[in-house]
Amino acid sequence: MGQKTWPEYARRIRRKPPSSNDVWHLDEVAVCVNCKKCWLWRAVDQDGYVLDEIVQVRRYTKAARRLLIRLLSKQGPAAKTDGD
């Protein structure tokens, strides 16, 4: 990487500390993997940072909610959630 891209890269990976005012979204997207339809679930914060993701062959919302609950338990202070 050149000198101009390192500050950009460092800015992207540097995260602010979590706060109770954070808002998380659970996004659902249908994607094709090896010509098979799969579901991509992503937990995203208000800044667009992907916290975690899972890919499933079938649309299983219960597992996606477990993903979000697991993230909330790791978070510590309560974060606001918004399911899309």
Per residue in 30-50, pLDDT (tens digit) is: 999 899 999 888 888 887 778
> Structural domain tally of the chain?
1
* Predicted confidence (pLDDT) per residue in 49-74, tens digit: 787 888 888 888 888 888 778 877 77
Domain limits for position 32: 18-83
Mean pLDDT computed over every residue of the chain: 76
Asked if residue 63 is part of any domain, the answer here is yes
The answer to whether position 9 is within a domain reads no
* Residue 54, in any domain of the structure: yes
Percent of the chain scoring above 70 in pLDDT: 64
The secondary structure of 53-71 as a DSSP string is: EEEESS--HHHHHHHHHHH
- The confidence score (pLDDT) of residue 37 equals 93
Q: What predicted TM-score, i.e. pTM, was given to this entire model? A: 0.60
Asked if the structure places residue 8 within a domain, the reply is no
Query: Looking at the domain assignment, is residue 5 inside a domain?
Result: no
